[in-house]
Structure 1
Amino acid sequence: MDAATVHKRRWAILAVLSLCLVISGLDALVIAMAVPKIQEDLGATVGEMQWSVDAYTLTFGGLLLLAGTLGDRFGHKIMLLGGLVLILGFSVAAAFASGPGTLITFRAGMGLGSAMVMPATLAIIKQVFPPEEQAKAIGVWSGAAGIGIPLGPVIGGLLLNHYWWGSIFLINVPVVGLALIGGFVLIPSWRAPKAITLDLIGAFLAVGGLVLLVYGLIEAPADGWGSGTTLASLIGGAVLLCGFIAWEARTAHPMLPLSLFANRRFSGSAAALFCQAFALFGSLFVLTQYFQIARAHDPLASGVRMLAIITLVISSPLAPNVVKMIGDKATIILGMLLIGAGAFALATADVDAETTVLISLGVMGFGIGLSIPPSVDGILANAPENQAGTASAVNDTALQVGGAVGVAILGTAMTSAYQGALPSLDALSPADRSNVHDSLGSALATTARIGDTGLAAKAVDAFGSGLHAAAITSGIVALVGAAVTAFLMPRGLKQPAKPHAVQAGQAEQTEQTEQTAGLAD
């Protein structure tokens, strides 16, 4: 496929890539609404249901760096299409899973497919769009990535109101099928002009470290931060990641050149993405429980309310224009200040003040949509051409690990504050006391059984304290992210990009040869 054809098709290619991002966003949260029905039908324990949700995140977050490197080595189109095939196959398998163990396995397979797809989408954007249009394309990419997240609960709730729980996975069949056809026809094959030597030791250390770290973060809310499992996972992950850094600093062919982080725009953008994902995924985790448990809305009604965060779809395309006016650094800081403002507003809301909660979520969504595109662009624009997949994987890893940390920490903050705000439970039996102390859902089930409406109301009020604690924590992290961005990123407007060589006839032949090396049918 010649460069001129690629240039003409770039927006159609972006539409296919955006569809892939919507799929990943849907798969991340669509299962959350189906947990009660799956548990009933498959006879799963609470722990098994937790893993049916988390297996996707664990494989997704742990394999991103390796998948990005493999894309640079073997081609991003191959990785994208291969990942889509895995998502399609494992989605169908998950829909007809006969037990919790097989469901967990198939969800992990879906996470593997998404880990192959995500870095490829950004790497392909970097290859087919000229530098001066990449920020606009990334704005669309960010909106597509974000819209799938709130749509997951909505679509899941809608399907669960009419069909069996497996239908939430079959929605992937037509969507992935369309993405496969579009990707095969439109996306050019590309690989680094210079063969990349695989860093197998670095891959082992990175994958092992990230898997252990994400596992520890997932288990922390349930087992406690001081439990042996949590500490062993977090410490083991930290040791392996430190070993990864040490190895990358000395090996001749590093999987992740540490010199990338010497660029202040690259490292500042990665830190900002981590904080943005922390606020986004952590807040959605908390608010899903708020709408379904504290407010007793059904899955569809809860999902519709989560759509308040869809304001990010409005602000994401606006971000490149804001960057032109005030620079990428100021745009990221502005977005994170809006995230913080929304979080602190949420901390003032009473449990029954849904309007305040929805407005706060909308403000946070607008800030997220404004700050993510320039952060992503800051990573991609400062990475070498032959490491587009690696840079994309750094971006996606910051998002996934930041989200996992956000869920773990905000979940712990909410639970601790909830338990601290409960009244004395001495009058209850030990079993009932444990249930009320465990979570609001267990408390409401217990109080309904024993007929204690007064304690139920107090438990809901205690949950409000937990919501406030989580919101304050989220707001503080957003402010810290703004401060880190202000410290790390250089001042001034983003430097104008050089003309892209694939604009046929408008660039020197030598530059065109460099930019389009490796493009083929």
Structure 2
Amino acid sequence: MHATTPAPATSAPPDPKRWWALGALVASMLVVGFDATILNVALPTMASQLGADISQQQWIADSYTVVLAALMLPAGLLGDRFGRRRMLVVGLALFLAGSLAGALAGSPAGVIAARTGMGLGAALIMPLAMAVLPAVFGPGERTKAIGMLTAATALGMPLGPIIGGWLLDHFWWGSVFLINVPMVAIGITACVFLLRESSDPSAPRIDTISSALNCVGLGALVYGIIEAPRRGWGDPLVLVMFFGAAALLTALVLRERVAVRPMLDVGLLRQRNFLWNAVAATLVMFVLMGLLFVLPNYLQAVLGADAFGTGVRLLPMMAGLLVTARAAAPLVARFGPRPVIAGGLLVLAAAAFLGSRTTADDGYGYTALWLSVTGFGFGFAMIPAMDAALGTLPRERAGSGSGLLMTLRQTGGAIGVALLGSVLASAFGARLDTAGLPPAAGAVAGKSVVAAHTVAATLHDPRLAASANAAYVHGMDVVLLLCGVTAVVAAVLVALRLPDSRTAQAPAAAVAPAPADARQ
């Protein structure tokens, strides 16, 4: 079966429109990439204009990533069974509809619903944009095409805050959604007219039970983390969410372990090289997404930057990432991935510990310093970890392995926003001084630093504004301290558990025959 599938692609003449099609797919993946971060700079503005508290801001950021992480695996199987081009068009259409709904939303709940729809669309777009390439490009060009799509996704994340900031300075907050419309429309048109249809008749059926366990379990976990600071960690509903999430996700793993053709290939986690590279990539995303959640409010509410200025002030981190994108490969070639990944995590930890020393009176210069170090640590940890994890996968498990790796990364980012955002909310509320305020005003001020500044301006109370700044910086410092500890733990795990590069290929080679035999 494997010997006959590539024949048509290699014997058919190259499609003259293939590079135009790739350009449209690159635009679509760029949008998916920067939509993961574009709202971070918009959150303070939306919090002010829509009255969103910290919990609602967390859901605005997390609804997209939670749905994306929960549905990516079953979405890829939908494309295999029903046509990759067809389901890619469906994903782009859902993303387009969600973007329009977000631009027209008038409440935090409306924005959360729109972001959920966009996450559903992105879950179809990300795996299927890769999956359609073999039908368009021959083996000689496929690596270049995949590299361009991967670069588009990676580039989108740092572009998000800059694009979002510029839009907010010139238009209303809904423009961060409308920017998606023309690019996604081009993607839909290109898919319809330029892409060939492809599918896999032997693909397994969609396991609705496993898909439901995955979605509901992850959603319950994130819901409990986000609601705990407001309701209390011992609140019955919060405890039910945590116990329910543990039970559902455990049931998912047990079900997938005995499946003949599992949707979630947990057997890959028995390979130490794949497992610990995946752990490193997941924890890096946990730290990064939590960092990008807390920083914009600090830069805007505390330091007084506008939205575009906030995006520009995040550039030192992106500069470090761009340097490491070129420097990581030679270092890995010389020393192997283990010391480079562990070193990158330690650099990331050092940056977080530096950031945790920030005070309300510090200017931007100190922030730029530790943000630059953050970029270096992120690049040296994430790029080799992703490359090494994918490089150890046997050919017949490349699809399930890459899907599992991307799912773990997105889950790490979603939990990072939820958990670190909840820590920030608790620390801010505990430190904010609302003494002497009317009860209603104190309740509003405690929702977020933006709300506190609004109340302070209304009541002409500079003491409240100063207290809000100090309370927020305290909360941010606690978050950064936790990020640093997480990065150190990850570095130690990688240094102790990740196999040496000289034996990295052995696990993959050892298990490669097993799945092939099982599927015969």
Fold shared by both chains (TM-score > 0.5): yes
Residues 415 and 276 (structure 1), Cα distance of their counterparts in 2 relative to 1, 3 Å cut = same
CA 1:230–1:342 in structure 2 vs 1: closer, same or farther (change >3 Å)? same
1:34-53 to 2 correspondences below 5 Å: 34-35=42-43, 51-53=59-61
TM-score normalized by the length of structure 1: 0.82
Residue 399 (1) aligns with residue 403 (2): no
1:2 pairs with one of 1, 4, 9: 9
Matched, 1:473 2:458: no
The SS at the match of 1:371 is helix
**Correspondence for 1:152:** 160
Match of 1:443 in 2: 452
Q: What whole-Å deviation, never above 9, does each CA across 1:156-191 have from its counterpart, x for those lacking one?
A: 232233333332222112222344455567766554
Contact 2:281 2:382 (C-alpha < 8 Å) held by counterparts: yes
Cα distance in 1 for residues equivalent to 2:325 and 2:59: 32
Name the structure 2 match of 1:506: none
**Structure 1 gaps, min length 5:** 498-513, 515-521
* Percentage of identical aligned residues: 37
What is the SS of the residue equivalent to 2:351?
helix
Is residue 99–residue 114 contact of structure 2 (8 Å, CA) maintained in 1? yes
TM alignment of 1:193-212, pairs within 5 A: 194-212=202-220
Secondary structure, aligned partner of 1:301: helix
Change (3 A) 1:460 1:160: closer
CA contact (8 A) 2:47 2:450 kept: no
1:466–1:397 CA distance, 2 compared to 1 (3 A): same
Structure 2: gaps of 5 or more residues: 1-7, 507-515
Letter in 2 for 1:267: L
The change in CA–CA distance for 1:348 and 1:306 in structure 2 (over 3 A counts) is same
2:314 is aligned, of 291, 306, 309, to 306
> 1:360-371 alignment to 2 at 5 Å?
360-371=370-381
2: CA distance, partners of 1:43 / 1:422? 19
Deviations 1:275-332 (A, max 9, x none): 0111110001110111111112221211221233212233224433332122122222
- When structure 1 is superposed on structure 2, of 230-239 and 444-453 the one drifting more is 444-453
Q: Deviation string for 1:406-460 (max 9, x for gaps)?
A: 122322333344445456x544444444445544333333333444424432432
Q: Deviations over 1:61-99 (max 9, x none)?
A: 221222233344445444434322321233234333466
1:367 and 1:189 map into 2 onto residues whose CA distance is 41
Please tell me the residue identity of whatever aligns with 2:382. I
Counterpart in the other structure of 1:107: 115
- In structure 1, the residue matched to 2:4 is none
* Aligned CA-pair RMSD: 3.7
- Aligned 8 A contact 1:58 1:215 in 2: no
Q: Which amino acid aligns with 2:10?
A: A
Partner residue, 1:511: none
| Counterpart-to-counterpart distance in 2, 1:198 and 1:456 | 53
User: SS of the counterpart of 2:500?
Assistant: coil
Q: CA, structure 1 residues 186+326, in 2 after alignment: closer, same or farther (shift >3 Å)?
A: farther
CA pair 28-464 structure 1, distance change in 2 beyond 3 A:
same
- The alpha carbon displacement at 1:210 in A equals 2.1
Check conservation: 1:66, 1:207, Cα contact below 8 A. no
Residues 1:484 and 2:493 are matched in the alignment: yes
Q: Which residue of 1 aligns with 2:300?
A: 292
Output the CA distance in 2 between the equivalents of 1:298 and 1:166.
Answer: 16
Q: Which amino acid aligns with 1:63?
A: L
TM-score between the two structures when normalised by the length of structure 2: 0.82
Match of 1:248 in 2: 256
| Partner in structure 2 of residue 457 of structure 1 | 466
Closer, same or farther in 2 for the Cα pair 1:115/1:304, shift >3 Å?
A: same
Structure 2: distance between partners of 1:326 and 1:126:
33
Distance 1:45 1:487, change over 3 A: closer
1:279 counterpart = 2:287: yes
Aligned partner of 1:70 in structure 2 is: 78
> Residue 345 of structure 2: which of 331, 336, 353 is its match?
336
Contact 2:345–2:377 at 8 Å: present in 1 too? yes
Single out whichever of 276-285 and 405-414 deviates more from structure 2: 405-414
